[in-house]
Each structure stands twice: as structure tokens, then as C-alpha cells.
Amino acid sequence: MADMHALFRLDGRVAVITGGGGLLGYQHAATIAGLGGLPVLLDIDAQALAANAARLQEQTGCQALTLVADITRLDALQEIAEQLQASQGRIDILINNAARNPKVESAGDKDFSRLEHFPWEQWQQDLDVGLGGAFNCAKVFGSQMARQGGGVIINIASDLGVIAPDQRLYRVEGREADQQPVKPVTYSVVKHGLIGLTKYLATYWCEQGVRCNVLSPGGVYAGQNDVFVSKLSQLIPLGRMAKADEYQGAIAFLCSDASSYMNGANLVVDGGRSTW
């Protein structure tokens, strides 16, 4: 019988986490550190990276590696892979967490978020980071895992990679119907695309021992306004948004040998929202 404690341990494993300066980037890193692994945080925002690294040091005692990187640049990622190979000898885990997520409420009077007004340049930027960045990281770090004989890739999608956005959540009283803000189309396209990328990667390097799964989390409470939180909570059977640390168990499972026979799967952790 397997040692259940040992199944979840990540001692000596090196985990690259994109979007490492963000809210969930920190939580993923804390999970890795808590199980004995080494988090390597990648982000384009040096200040956010430094803040998360300092918090990790304070909360867990882990000295995470931090690297400022633009994941849309393949050459930059290749340099990082070479650095990690030289300093750590291997890469065991890739968590594709980075994404652009423009806030609906920041759109202004004529909302850019509506399909009719959505800028082509923003479409390109959102897909370049959220989907193209995941592809680039899988290409670089996944190839290295395949060469070394194994590894785990986790793509972070969303419940909105499974269901469509409920645009009623974003309605503003007093606005005409054709001026109401909406969840931008790119968010859905990127998150659905990550699920497709996961299935492709799961079957691409399986003979080399590289597994790929996707986590589809629901909305995380991060100080959103009370009206939005109330509306969204009514769509969730558990009656609330997620706490920031409530995906740590899912990440621990997906990264570790506890999920050794899981490949190409979408783990939906959304409080039940997508079941209604």
C-alpha cells in the first residue's frame, strides 16, 4: 500500500510558475514550498515578484527563485530553461498561470469589453499572453521534461472555460443595453483554449512520462464590490466565492504522484457553479 504522506511530497522538485507575482501565483508557490519543492516564480512585473517572494520567505521560510520574464518571448524562456538546468539540474513541474484579465469596471463610459467595441490589439495581447505564453512555456519547459524522462504540466483555466460568462453579473443600472459592460470575449477563448492545449499535450509527451492536466477554478474573492459578490454567490451552490488558498489542495494533488494516473483531465473546482 502506498505511503499517503509520501505521495504528496515534492521534495527536490523544481516548479516553474508563470504569473508568479499574482494572487494565485503566490498560492501555487506556497503549496509547492509547503510540500518540499522549489518554486521558480516568473512574471513580467518585478515589483510583484519581489513582494510574493518576500511573503513566501516570511510565511514558509522558502527562498523561491524569481525571474522577470516576458512569456511571449521564446528566446527569454529558453535562456531561463538553460539557467535552471545549469543551477538546478532539472525542471519537474510547470504551472501555466499567467493571464491578462482586464477588469470590466475599468472600461469607462463606452465599454471596450463589448464584442462590437473590442479592440483587435487587445485580442492579440490577451491571446499572446494567456494562450501563446502557455504554449511557449510548454514548448520550452515541457521539451526539457521530456528529455529528462518525466514531469507535470498544469494549465490554469477557469469555470468560464467550461461554461459561458453570465453577463448579467456585470450590468450597470442606467446604461443602455448596447453600452452594458461584459466579460471580454478573450477571457473565454483563452480559458477554453487552455483546456484544448492540455488535451494535446497530455497525448504528445506521454511516452516520455510527461503528464498534463488542467485546473478550472471558480472566482476568488479579492475585495470585489458587494453587489457583484452577492450576484455571483447566488450562482454557486456553495453560496460563496472561493478563498484564495482553497485551490492549494488541488494543486498539491495535480503536481504530485498522488495524481500519477491522471492525464488530460480537467479538474473543475468551482463550488458547484458549472453544475447549475
Sign, CA dihedral 36-38-42-47, equals positive
pLDDT by residue (tens digit) across 151-168? 999 999 999 999 999 999
The dihedrals phi and psi of 166, each to the nearest 5 degrees, come to -90, 100
Rounded Cα–Cα distance for residues 137 and 153 (Å): 10
Identify the pLDDT of residue 101: 73
d(CA 259, CA 48): 31
pLDDT in tens, 217-258: 999 999 999 999 999 999 999 999 999 999 999 999 999 999
Q: Is 204 helix (H, G, I), strand (E, B) or coil?
A: helix
- What's the pLDDT at 276? 92
Mean pLDDT in the chain? 95
- How many whole angstroms from its chain centre is CA 273? 19
Domain boundaries, the chain: 4-269
Residue 109 has pLDDT above 60, yes or no: no
Region of 5 (left: φ > 0; alpha: ψ -120 to 50; beta: rest) is alpha
The answer to whether the beta carbons of residues 166 and 218 sit under 8 Å apart is no
Q: How many Å apart are CA 263 and CA 174, to the nearest integer? A: 48
HEC-encoded secondary structure of 142-188: HHHHHHHCCEEEEEECCHHHCCCCCHHHHCCCCCCHHHCCCCCHHHH
- Total-model pTM: 0.95
Query: What residue has cell string 535562456?
Result: 79
How far lies 118's CA from each of 110, 177, 184, in Å?
A: 11, 16, 8
Contacts of 246 (CB under 8 A, 6+ apart): 269
- Give 82's pLDDT tier (boundaries 50, 70, 90): very high
For residue range 23-47, list pLDDT tens digits in order.
999 999 999 999 999 999 999 999 9
* Band (3; pLDDT cuts 50, 70, 90): confident
149 alpha carbon, distance to own chain's centre: 24
The span from the CA of 258 to the CA of 252, in Å, is 8
Residue 4 has pLDDT above 90, yes or no: no
Class of domain 4-269: alpha beta
